Structure 1
Amino acid sequence: MQEIRTLAPGISAYKLFLILRDIYEGKLMGRDRFYRLLRRKGLMLPALKRRHTTNSNHNYRMYKNRIKGYKPPTLNLLWVADITYIETDDGICYLHLLTDAFTHEIVGWTLSESLVAENTLQALNQAITMFPEADFTRLTHHSDRGAQYCCNRYVDRLKEMNISISMKKTGIPLTMRLPRG
């Protein structure tokens, strides 16, 4: 165990458990007991810092959740916006996404090095141009209450396209799970 930890110091406890389980052909102790042993021996890695992509501590207007329990019957009735981070060798990148809740397809996206609203707006504009003939008056845009989605430029663009705005108070922007890419 210590030899593997020395050879691969960044390997997760779970991967280490799987490697040893294969080496010992299933005769290894259970996972939780294995984790306790790692902690006791000082071989457990520190927990990774959780990245937050939502800043809802701002003075912009926040909108009500208009889609609770709603499942769209067709395309372009509900778009869900989200931002996720991707760790690379060069640092952190942020993926700004717009997903159609009916098809579960990504309709707009931008990969950037920052969380600024301009990047989120770029993903929205990409989604809008993807459907040049669409009537957006029946479309609802749903997101969390992050500053990127509440800022004036973003909200003005939604209103310009007659897109309804819906926001969830905290956490994941949708109660139903959507694929993240």
Structure 2
Amino acid sequence: MSERTTGKYMRKMGICALWVRHWTHTTTDSDFDLRLQNILDEQFSPDMANAVWVSDITYIWTEKGFVYLTSVMDLFSRKILAWVLSRTLEAKNVVETVQKAVGERNGVKPKVFHNDRGCQYVSDEFLEVTREMTNSYSKKGYPWDNACIESFHSLIKREWLNRFKIENYDQAYRYVFEYINTF
């Protein structure tokens, strides 16, 4: 049935459509965007190791619900320096991943640490652990700024995780470990 015919029937029956107004965010912190600068600016080929690290969180579906993979990648070598699989999206998981990455590089910290604008990456805990690094944030609603780590997460799902029916956290952990630490 066409939209016009549906409209005719609705008018005959005295029915009219209700339009729901979209919610509009009206109060903003005008200083918030100024603090979240994009230092990386899609320059994905640094000249040396530990110049730029990128990080992101992805969801992995299990039969018991989602688990969350947080990864840190060195853009120079494209190596995953550290990863944490968790049951929650708390900032402490991002902090743990950053600390593991610094440990992996024997205490060497990157000049620039780039990520998206997720609440975990603007939390006080994260800012404390990255205070000696220059934080860089993707532009609002623009995933291409973080394309390298987004691409890795897409790859691990497409090439490996989507092959299995993952039942729980432990099984997801094993599959992620096999992909990152074994391949």
State whether TM-score is above 0.5: yes
| 2:142 equivalent to 1:168 | no
Q: Residue 177 of structure 1: SS of its match in structure 2? A: helix
Structure 1: tracts of 5 or more residues without a match: 1-56
Residue 20 (structure 2) aligns with: none
Sequence identity, in percent?
A: 26
Q: Residue 174 of structure 1: SS of its match in structure 2? A: helix
Q: Answer yes or no: is the 8 Å Cα contact 1:140–1:166 preserved in 2.
A: yes
User: Could you give the per-residue CA deviations for residues 45-77 of structure 1, whole angstroms, max 9, x where no partner exists?
Assistant: xxxxxxxxxxxx997954200011322112111
Return the letter of the residue paired with 1:144: D
Relative to the length of structure 2, the TM-score reads: 0.59
Residue 91 (structure 2) aligns with: 117
CA distance in 1 between counterparts of 2:67 and 2:147 reads 25
Q: What displacement does 1:167 show? A: 0.2
Residue 90 (structure 1) aligns with: 64
Q: Residue 65 of structure 1: SS of its match in structure 2? A: coil
User: Could you give the per-residue CA deviations for residues 140-173 of structure 1, whole angstroms, max 9, x where no partner exists?
Assistant: 00011111010111101111xx211000122426
Q: Answer yes or no: is the 8 Å Cα contact 1:66–1:167 preserved in 2.
A: yes
Residue 66 (structure 1) aligns with: 39
CA distance in 2 between counterparts of 1:133 and 1:114 reads 27
CA distance in 2 between counterparts of 1:58 and 1:120 reads 25
Equivalent positions of 1:37-48 (< 5 A) are none
CA distance in 1 between counterparts of 2:76 and 2:120 reads 24
Q: List structure 1 segments (4+ residues) > 3 angstroms apart after TM superposition.
A: 57-62, 175-178
* More helix as a share of residues: 2
- Using a 3 Å threshold, how does the CA distance of structure 1 residues 58 and 76 change in structure 2: closer, same or farther? farther
CA distance in 1 between counterparts of 2:106 and 2:28 reads 33
Q: Answer yes or no: is the 8 Å Cα contact 1:80–1:141 preserved in 2.
A: yes
Relative to the length of structure 1, the TM-score reads: 0.60
CA distance in 1 between counterparts of 2:128 and 2:28 reads 17
Q: Residue 148 of structure 2: SS of its match in structure 1? A: coil
Residue 148 (structure 1) aligns with: 120
Q: Residue 119 of structure 1: SS of its match in structure 2? A: helix
